[in-house]
Amino acid sequence: MTSGRPRATSRDTISEAACELFLEQGFAHTSVAQITQRAGVSRSSFFNYFTSKSDVLWAGLDERIVELGTRLSTVDGADAGSSVMMALRAIGDDFAPDSLALALVNTEVMGFGDEFDRDAGLRRARIAHAVATRLRGSGADPLRAEVAGAACGGAVLAAIGAWAQAGAGQKPLAPLLDQALAIAAPTLA
């Protein structure tokens, strides 16, 4: 019989090892080989979970973005703006501190440069695409759909950044996400 914390998965172990190394020696000076050695896993195990070392930071959000796309593509008949807002709010459900939150508050220490900004931009763009696709599918003007998508993608990433800076895990993400989405909401009307 076991007690205490649940056993960590290889993915969790890899993420923890990567973050430790990023803090110790910087992102640019950390190799996948060093991460796998620290985690005690093989290189192939690393690539079973992640496509690159930067993906270690984004994996949790990436899963939620995939879920967002699925939610938005399967909603029928509902008001497009309302269904988009509901799907976006679900991103914040049970959002726990992870490697992304750690990276957001330690970008300088971890030595992230332009790559982190590019990665964040990619996530904003993926959210924007999912939202714009849903809105266009409901007959929205394409320009309005693209602007709304961009606003929503920006709102999600801004909320996550504010949450991390405020002490990720001390308060839930949901209230900050609601606040950011309220700013973007007029673009959905």
The predicted-structure confidence for 157-177, as pLDDT tens digits, reads as follows 999 999 999 998 899 999 999
Domain of residue 37 covers: 10-49
CA distance 80 to 77: 8
- For residues 134 and 165, state if they share a domain: yes
78 Rama sector, left if φ>0, alpha if ψ -120 to 50, beta otherwise: beta
pLDDT of 6: 47
pLDDT of 25: 95
In a domain, 3, yes or no: no
Q: What is the pLDDT of residues 47-77, one digit of tens each?
A: 999 999 999 999 999 999 999 999 999 877 6
Q: What is the pLDDT of residues 115-155, one digit of tens each?
A: 899 999 999 999 999 999 999 999 999 999 999 999 999 99
pTM for the model: 0.90
Q: Output the CA angle 26-31-34, nearest 5 degrees.
A: 100
| CATH code where residue 22 lies | 1.10.10.60
In a domain, 152, yes or no: yes
Count of structural domains, the chain: 2
- For residues 131 and 168, state if they share a domain: yes
- For residues 88 and 181, state if they share a domain: yes
The two tokens of residue 168 are 């990720």
- For residues 87 and 68, state if they share a domain: yes
Chain-centroid distance, C-alpha 149: 16
